[in-house]
Amino acid sequence: QEKLDMSTYPVESIRNFSIIAHVDHGKSTLADRLLEITGTISKTDRNKQVLDKLQVERERGITVKAQSASLFYNHEGVNYLLNLIDTPGHVDFSYEVSRSLSACQGVILVVDANEGIQAQTVANFYLAFEAQLSIIPVINKIDLKNADPERVEKQIEKLFDIPTDECIRISAKQGTNVEKVLQKVIEKIPPPQCNTADPLKALVFDSTFDHYRGVIANIALFGGEITKGQKIVSAHTKKRYEVNEVGILTPNEQPTHKLYAGQVGYLIAGMKEVTEAQIGDTLFLYKQPVEPLPGFKSAKPMVFAGMYPIDQTEYNNLKSALERLTLNDSSVTVHRDSSLALGAGWRLGFLGLLHMEVFNQRLEQEYNMSVILTAPTVPYKAVLSSAKLIKEYGKDQITIINPAQFPDKLSVSEYLEPTVLGTIVTPHEYIGKIITLCQDRRAVQKDMLYIDENRVMLKYLFPLNEIVVDFYDALKSLSSGYASFDYEDAGYQSADLVKMDILLNGNPVEELATIIHNDKAHAAGKLLCERLKETIPRQLFEIAIQAAIGKKIIARETLKPFRKNVVAKCYGGDITRRMKLLRRQAEGKRLMRKIGNVDVPRDAFIRVLRRETDK
């Protein structure tokens, strides 16, 4: 394979840009067309979402990981090197988007001509706007018969202050006008501000793991040049490496002699451990230290779930699979955890529910691991008032992830729960239903704005635990799939939280304890008791399944015992004979209940702790 010479592309003729949009507005399809026009991939009918390489992405038709590709394009006699980064659209992966933007100088903002501006379009626009990138608005899917590009242009002008004549109308599927996008990229997006004469300074913005070559780091060069055989140092771990190979991604790896300032490519440097290629890290030459780049805000996990191997013998395999996957997806946080019923495992923090499902699916597909995931929870805080506890924890505010650590009400001045600021964009005919839904979820309305005559943008302050399980599904089904939802972290606020215990014959079951808002405790307690009644096998004695808050019982189900028909031998005879036999049986059952332990089988736990989909 012939190595490319990258020195023919000076900084002035480099453009780094990414494509951002709402889910399903055609980012990956536009990326395919751009790759075809520049001759990076050959034109065939099979080019559908070339950059979505993971099996999960193929099956679900969504982008999960940001992927980069370098394109060569000749414009007015000058050869340009365009580095394109395709980003995901779902709110759960907005962390990927903000990471991709750090390696870019401009963005293409894609809006669907049929759907118009959606919640995620707004969120991604502000991400790019805050990073002070130049923005090229593109209206996609003009070939659809319901497309209304004029309306969408007005929306873009109203919401983003971008004049309507700057919008490019394209159809990425058919390739209409896509050339114009490339020309606009070259004209409007500035080249990167850096110099080849400076010392080497490279930002690691993504990394993958290869079984044979170790860690492959995707880097953006902010200064200097890099070539095979150089000694480099990581600013984060202070470890030294020798560069084995550098190159560019034309989506596939293409080795080059050198990479120069302003270019985006990959680097293999014999990093064995998955934790070494820290995303947001700065690499520099040995003995030539530089000021490390600012890096990224670490992603804030919004949803926590317990993950346990189905069989404890699989623990070590699952551990190594988790380590590799978290390298690939650094926004997952991992804490060791163990549970009496499910054994040793981990408490994982995810950015959202879809993120959790995709992570679980990738574990199954890429590493053949099947695991038990418990129902998702969110992190709460407690402000302590008892001096003894403050001394024990060393601070007056503690974060509670596991319900077992929930402090008693007497020693706490207030409990805090996480909140998010949600943006809902919806056609106006569904407003009534959506406002009712939000009020059921204890949300507070902050703002309401008409984008045009039939679309409304609502802003609400939600408690995170109310939206974490099924809010999105409920919203979609209420609005026939038209409403879109996006949220950002909004800090903590005080809440009336309680710990709900589940008792079996008066003994609390550690694993089933949950932290819940006082208003919702009754309904949740009843639901949990009913579900337990279906899953716990019947015994020879009666089992009382109760939900309790402190000493107060709020819900109860009774599991009837198996009983032998003791009066089968009586036919005729006196009633007192029957009563005597039944009384004797009841006495025996009562004794048995005193000494009998209820063993909850493991699969009953799994069934109750799994996500509550069958409401």
CATH code where residue 421 lies:
3.30.70.240
Instruction: Estimate the crossing angle of helix 178-188 against helix 27-37, to 10 degrees.
Output: 90
CATH code where residue 218 lies:
2.40.30.10
The whole-number pLDDT of residue 199 equals 82
Name the burial class of residue 5, with classes exposed (0-12), middle (13-18) and buried (19+) by CB atoms within 10 angstroms of its CB. exposed
Helix or strand (DSSP H, E) at 484: strand 484-495
Asked whether residue 501 is assigned to any structural domain, the reply reads: no
DSSP 49-97: STT--SHHHHHHT---S-EEEEEEEEETTEEEEEEEEE---SGGGHHHH
Same domain? 368 vs 400: no
How many structural domains does the chain have?
5
143, 33 in Cβ contact below 8 A? no
| Domain termination site, one of 138, 161, 188 | 188
The whole-number pLDDT of residue 304 equals 79
- pLDDT bin (cut points 50, 70, 90) of residue 553 is very high
Same domain? 36 vs 182: yes
Asked whether residue 298 is assigned to any structural domain, the reply reads: no
For 75-88, write each residue's pLDDT tens digit: 777 888 888 887 77
Asked whether residue 22 is assigned to any structural domain, the reply reads: yes
For 138-148, write each residue's pLDDT tens digit: 888 888 888 88
Same domain? 211 vs 75: no
Of 229, 215, 238, which is closest to residue 284 (Cα–Cα)?
238
- Span 11-27, average pLDDT: 82
Integer Cα distance of 504 and 527 in angstroms = 15
Same domain? 235 vs 313: no
Same domain? 316 vs 277: no
Asked whether residue 472 is assigned to any structural domain, the reply reads: yes
Cα first-last separation, the chain = 57
The parent domain of residue 602 ranges over 523-609
Residue 615 has pLDDT above 60, yes or no: no
Residue 46 has pLDDT above 70, yes or no: no
Residue 611 has pLDDT above 60, yes or no: no
**CA 597 to chain CA centroid, nearest Å:** 41
Q: Which residues contact 391 (CB under 8 A, 6 or more apart)?
A: none
Same domain? 234 vs 359: no
Strand 484-495 and strand 303-309: the pairing is: unpaired
For 100-114, write each residue's pLDDT tens digit: 777 788 888 888 888
For 216-244, write each residue's pLDDT tens digit: 888 888 888 888 888 888 877 788 888 88
Place of tokens 């063993």: 599
Assigned token pair, 555: 């819900």
Residue 609 has pLDDT above 70, yes or no: no
CATH code where residue 350 lies:
3.30.70.870
| Domain termination site, one of 155, 188, 221 | 188
- pLDDT bin (cut points 50, 70, 90) of residue 614 is very low
Same domain? 91 vs 184: yes
Place of tokens 């790019």: 128
The whole-number pLDDT of residue 295 equals 63
Largest Cα span, the chain: 112
Q: What percent of the chain has pLDDT over 90?
A: 2
For 169-224, write each residue's pLDDT tens digit: 888 888 788 888 888 888 888 888 877 777 888 888 777 777 777 788 888 888 88
Name the burial class of residue 272, with classes exposed (0-12), middle (13-18) and buried (19+) by CB atoms within 10 angstroms of its CB. exposed
Residue type for 160, please? F
222, 250 in Cβ contact below 8 A? no
| Domain termination site, one of 479, 495, 511 | 495
Backbone conformation region of residue 138, classed left if phi is above 0, alpha if psi is from -120 to 50, else beta: beta
Asked whether residue 489 is assigned to any structural domain, the reply reads: yes
472, 493 in Cβ contact below 8 A? no
Name the burial class of residue 218, with classes exposed (0-12), middle (13-18) and buried (19+) by CB atoms within 10 angstroms of its CB. buried
Same domain? 18 vs 166: yes
Using the 8-state DSSP alphabet, how is residue 256 labeled? E
Asked whether residue 225 is assigned to any structural domain, the reply reads: yes
Same domain? 434 vs 490: yes
Could you give the dihedral angle defined by the CA atoms of residues 205, 210, 213 and 218, in that order, rounded to the nearest 10 degrees? -10
Same domain? 357 vs 385: no
For 476-515, write each residue's pLDDT tens digit: 788 777 777 777 778 888 888 888 888 888 888 777 788 8
pTM of the model: 0.71
Residues β-bridged to residue 171? 176
Asked whether residue 5 is assigned to any structural domain, the reply reads: no
Same domain? 95 vs 139: yes
Q: What percent of the chain has pLDDT over 70?
A: 91
Asked whether residue 425 is assigned to any structural domain, the reply reads: yes
Same domain? 342 vs 435: no
